[in-house]
A and B are shown apart, each in its own frame.
Chain A
Amino acid sequence: GQQLNQSPQSMFIQEGEDVSMNCTSSSIFNTWLWYKQDPGEGPVLLIALYKAGELTSNGRLTAQFGITRKDSFLNISASIPSDVGIYFCAGQGEGGGSNYKLTFGKGTLLTVNP
């Protein structure tokens, strides 16, 4: 099946620093999604990207859909303690009919030191 490589696996940063994480795939995706998961909760959608080259922001978060459609990155600027959590990328293929399955990266664990 399709595989997503998400890096880094974990990050430990100081409050106020910027953060960057990315996902790469051997397959082309039509949609890239970024989620954040807090302990004991489900993933929450942060940003959705639908076009190659698209750059989208959500507050301090910025994500881009790679030109090749095989990669995406997420940046967090001026990190704060509540940014702590696991960040997942997910790619969605063209599907067709009833088949629009998501492929998830294994996550980036972010720790922010106040």
Chain B
Amino acid sequence: DAGITQSPRHKVTETGTPVTLRCHQTENHRYMYWYRQDPGHGLRLIHYSYGVKDTDKGEVSDGYSVSRSKTEDFLLTLESATSSQTSVYFCAISGRGNQPQHFGDGTRLSIL
């Protein structure tokens, strides 16, 4: 298994609160990604990183920000959570941009 740890695994919070999800990898991979998975939509890319301090937006980036201050950690922040951000969030990593991505086990986030 790829060495990817997502935390927390489950979280319930209220609308309007800030939320930060963490992805930690032990593979020293350059690329890291955040996806959300929703019924009927499959996996959609939120943001990705191609190196320390290098990030870019995916297809559903509104309402989310990311930071990557070191190779092993990629943080996803919801500045003011909304109910539409209730989802399962997956982190993925790859050594190079054109290599297959490997996924963590996800964080189930519920926003009430």
Contact = CB atoms under 8 A, between A and B. Distances in A.
Looking at chain A's contact residues, is the secondary structure mostly helix, strand, loop, or mixed?
loop
A41 B100 contact: no
A100 B48 CA distance: 10
Contact of B103 (A31, A43, A107): A43
Contacts of A41: 105-106
Contacts of B98: 30-31, 92, 95, 100
A43 B44 CA distance: 13
Interface string A85-98: 00010101001001
A99 B97 contact: yes
Contacts, number: 57
B22 interface: no
Interface residues of B, number: 27
Contact of A42 (B41, B59, B100, B106): B106
A56 B23 CA distance: 31
A40 interface: yes
Given A40-B105, A45-B102, A100 B97 contact: yes
B103 A104 contact: no
A104 B42 contact: yes
8 contacts: A31-B98, A42-B106, A43-B90, A45-B102, A98-B54, A100-B97, A102-B101, A106-B42
